[in-house]
Amino acid sequence: MAAAGPSRGPDLWKPSRYLEPNHPDNEEVQEQAAYQAAVSRLSNDSRAKRYKPRRTVDYSGGVLKWRQTVKLRGLNYLPPIHPSPSDIVGLLSPEAHRLNSSTSVCDHFVHTSINKERSPTRVVKWTPDARRLLTGNDKGQFTLWNGSSFNYESITQVHDDSIRALAYSHNGQSLVSVDKLGGIKYFTPQLTNIHGFQGHREACHGIDWSPNDERFVTGGDDGLVKIWNYREAKEERALNGHGWDVRCVSWHPSKGLVVSGSKDMLVKFWDPRTGRDLSTLHSHKAVINSCNWSPNGHYVATAGGDGLIRLFDIRTFRELDVMKGHGKEIHCLEWHPIHHDLLVSGDSAGVIMYWSLLAPNPADPITTMQAAHEDSVFSLAFHPLGHLLCSGSKDFTTRFWCRARPQGGQESDRWHVGEEKALGLKMEGERANSKSKWNFEAKEEEKAPPGLPGLGNGHREDRSTSPNFGAKPGDGPSSLPGFGAPRNVSGSAPQGPPARSWVPDPMAAPLPSSGAMPPFNDPRGPRGYGPPPASNRYGPPQNAYGPGSGGYGGRGGGPGRQDPGSGGGGPGVYNRGPDQGQRPPPPASGPYGHGPPPGHGQGPGQRYGNHGPDQVYGGGGAGGRGWR
């Protein structure tokens, strides 16, 4: 019998590649990862932050709405917009409001984008199709950001040093950039480097295209303004006239005219065909960092280290306005692409200001964005449709700003940290304020004198609440065990301070029927020298010292010095009247007549009477001296 071979067990199941589960969508994976990251970062109140999708500013709805309105109603019809969130769909593009530039002021914060490589953002520029934003930083990198959701798309190392300027051609087919080493590089719209050469011996700061895209102009720290042929990558002409670094250059939108600004505080106009210096302006008193032509080519705006923006009209070659508002050095200027009278500027303090040539006073800003950035604003760029503004700063951030919405929504975001974080900071501040308020109230309770809870600091335990003036010591709340003060060593309740017998109850006197003031609650009296009498305070005659006197404390009948008294009848005088009497003895309770002692006669004096030729509060008698 043949030996049986080794037994083989059943075949184990093995997964095959054909049974692999489907991979989830990339967007779902990103959303889930973002949600998990938000859950991992717990807030101060130990609650997880709910994932919120990124804010999106889409211009397509406004453009389509405008085209439909023009087709049905014509160019002159503008639909009304009510202050309601539902009317956001009716917000048209800036093209629909050409006669009202105030509708295109982009001063509402939308989003902050931070590069993976933390470096100052030197220049920002929208791509020709306006779907993305291109930024250049001090590390020589190009970064692309989505123009609607503002998220990061790509980053490319293109220069060996800081990128100082870049410009797209008017046809959108070419891109030229310059760096701190004086290098010039050509790129395709896909950011592919096709050529590069050394343009200046030192740093290059400005670049701009000619109207026909055949040439471009650059300026550098070697003090030269150079005209270049783009196709041949060849220098055609060097314009020598500045005595120091050239910080900015700009080519006229439709003519052969170049303007340049330098560190020598001069603004020069050049003819690029002949290289001749046409004119020089000496208005600025500091370095000129930016010079820009208006889109219609009628004006040129210059700004620099003196914090001033000067506007020149080349048709008359005269200075139109000097715009004052910045307290620091201005680094950048930008004109609105639709509204040619709207100008925006940024300075070294992180402040962004809007200016309008059609304002009643063009020299004053129409909008000021304080703390738009934490450091210098190096570059500004409007979206080609004019509904968005982008700013690049030394604080490593790129920020986006939009127009005001019908419902607002960003007015409380003072430090531009985003809606969610701003809400968290607001809640944290409210908790801190409530805690500090509770501590303050607790300290005030500690400072309060002993008394019944809830009576406050103004009520003392020694004040009598009965019409009897002779209150016994210790009758107040402080004598009750457990209130106000601790027990004595013997265990008995502590005795309160002795009550002053002359202190009347301010609430004991009956109110007059009509024509009288309410009772005074201050125990010192209405003038701070003593309490008024406990009865008949507002009109009935008072007892006085001696016959013929005008009432204790009343004003004398004759002229005399007005000196407020503290007696029962009102302010008294110490001077003699025309019909003087004997000086009465002082009352037993004090030298100033606190409280009405027994009278020795009748007098017409009253506290608010109508008698006497020279009276203020009480009627003066026919003579006598009142006590102070």
From CA 447, how far away is CA 138, in angstroms rounded? 60
From CA 339, how far away is CA 360, in angstroms rounded? 17
Among candidates 589, 520, 515, 522, which has minimal Cα distance to 552? 589
Residue 483: its pLDDT value, please?
Answer: 45
Residue 442: its pLDDT value, please?
Answer: 53
Q: 230 is written with which tokens?
A: 């783009």
pLDDT averaged per 10 residues in sequence order, the chain, 628 residues: 51 61 72 77 53 64 75 75 72 83 90 90 94 94 92 92 95 95 94 94 94 95 94 93 93 94 94 92 92 94 94 90 93 94 95 94 93 94 94 94 73 52 59 57 51 46 42 44 48 51 47 46 46 48 43 42 40 42 47 44 42 42 42
CATH of 102-406, one of 3.40.1830.10, 2.60.120.10, 1.10.443.10, 2.130.10.10: 2.130.10.10
From CA 614, how far away is CA 215, in angstroms rounded? 96
Among candidates 307, 375, 319, 374, which has minimal Cα distance to 345? 307
Question: CA-based angle 262:265:270, to the nearest 5?
Answer: 55
Cβ contacts of residue 419 below 8 Å, gap of 6+?
55, 409, 410, 413
Contact at 8 Å (CB) between 110 and 55? Answer: yes
β-strand pairing of 258-262 with 267-271: antiparallel
Phi then psi dihedrals of residue 157, to 5 deg: -85, 120
Residue 57: its pLDDT value, please?
Answer: 74
Phi then psi dihedrals of residue 554, to 5 deg: -80, 165
* Burial tier of 87 (Cβ tally within 10 Å: 0-12, 13-18, 19+): middle
From CA 537, how far away is CA 529, in angstroms rounded? 16
β-strand pairing of 352-356 with 367-369: antiparallel
The type of residue at 27 is E
Residue 438: its pLDDT value, please?
Answer: 52
Contact at 8 Å (CB) between 353 and 344? Answer: yes
Q: What is the DSSP string of 398-425?
A: EEEEEPPPTT---TT-TT---HHHHHHH
Residue 436's region, left for phi above 0, alpha for psi from -120 to 50, else beta, is: alpha
From CA 378, how far away is CA 398, in angstroms rounded? 10
Beta bridge partners of 402: 108, 388
Alpha helix positions (H), 395-534: 419-447
From CA 63, how far away is CA 150, in angstroms rounded? 20
Residue 290: its pLDDT value, please?
Answer: 95
Helix, strand, coil in percent for the chain, rounding step 5: 10, 25, 60
Query: What is the signed CA dihedral for 515, 520, 521, 522, rounded to 10 degrees?
Result: 170
Q: 226 is written with which tokens?
A: 């150079």
Residue 423: its pLDDT value, please?
Answer: 56
Among candidates 111, 139, 193, which has minimal Cα distance to 400? 111
Residue 38: its pLDDT value, please?
Answer: 74
Cβ contacts of residue 374 below 8 Å, gap of 6+?
350, 393, 395, 397
Give the Å distances, CA to CA, from 485 to 237, 444, 448, 479, 480.
96, 17, 12, 8, 9
Where do we find the tokens 């002949």?
A: 274
- Each domain of the chain, given as residue ranges in start order, spans 62-92, 102-406, 515-628
pTM value is: 0.59
Q: 384 is written with which tokens?
A: 């080609």
Question: How many CA within 13 A on the CB side of residue 495?
Answer: 6
What does the DSSP 8-state code read for residue 30? H
